[in-house]
Amino acid sequence: MRSHSIVLMAAILIALAAVFFITRRTPPPAPQSAPRTYVWSVAMQDLQRIVINLPSAGKREAWVKHADRRWYFDRPDGPAVNPQRWGGGVPLLLSGPGAQRLVVKAATAEQLKIYGFREPKMKLDLFLQNGAAVNIEVGDRTLDGRAYYIRKSGSGTVYTVDYTWYEVLERLVLDPPYPAAQ
């Protein structure tokens, strides 16, 4: 009987020690993440005109922001874009994508060819209210298919951005956000 009591008390003591250890542990510090790098950065309210070219598909679309602060197709008497498809998301996407990673800072002509910049998949021209322009080229998809190579036109610095960023912009050209049929 006495050994049975000792074993029971030892089990209770071990359980109490485990509870004490678990509840008194300090949580590990939160990991420190580096600030995200943006391929370019403009305030989305400064965007005035957007042009997206898909050279391989031979397609192009352009939009302009009117005085009413709404976006319209950039052609004579161009209709307003469908707000359900456009919303605030498109200007936000174009204000500057976060880079997944920096690939190379000073790419050679041969490297630019390897990343698909000899014949870019997409060309973006963003015109700002102050008259400045940001020109971007999107190269090939990465081998794992999760990203696209991207750079500011004329720059040797190449980044990758998530494939979904490219696909949203591609869809704006292939299936433009025309106003909903009444």
Residue 58 predicted with pLDDT over 90: yes
Residue 16 predicted with pLDDT over 80: no
Give the rounded percent of residues in the chain with a pLDDT score beyond 90. Answer: 63
Residue 93 placed within a domain: yes
Residues spanned by the domain of 136: 44-174
Q: Which pLDDT belongs to residue 52? A: 97
Residue 34 placed within a domain: no
Query: Residue 32 phi/psi, 5° resolution?
Result: -85, 120
Q: Are 102 and 159 in contact (CB under 8 A)?
A: yes
Write down the pTM of the prediction: 0.79
Structural domain tally of the chain?
1
Q: Which pLDDT belongs to residue 182? A: 55
Residue 180 placed within a domain: no
Mean pLDDT, residues 154-173: 95
Residue 104 placed within a domain: yes
Confidence at 19, pLDDT banded by 50, 70, 90? confident
Residue 19 placed within a domain: no
Confidence at 5, pLDDT banded by 50, 70, 90? confident
Mean pLDDT, residues 140-158: 95
* pLDDT tens string 73-112: 999 889 999 988 887 788 888 889 989 999 999 999 999 9
Q: What is the DSSP string of the chain?
A: -HHHHHHHHHHHHHHHHHHHHHHHPPPPPPPPPPPPPBS----GGGEEEEEEEEGGGTEEEEEEE-TTS-EEESSTTPPBP-HHHHTTHHHHHHT-PBPSEEEESS--HHHHHHTT-SS-SEEEEEEETTS-EEEEEEEEEPTTSSEEEEEETT---EEEEEHHHHHHHHHHHHS--PPPP-
Residue 36 placed within a domain: no
Greater pLDDT, 34 or 176: 176
Q: Which pLDDT belongs to residue 91? A: 87
Residue 12 placed within a domain: no
- Candidate from 35-49, 83-97, 155-169 with smallest mean pLDDT: 83-97
Residue 135 placed within a domain: yes
Q: Mean pLDDT for the chain?
A: 89
- Candidate from 28-32, 143-147, 148-152 with smallest mean pLDDT: 28-32
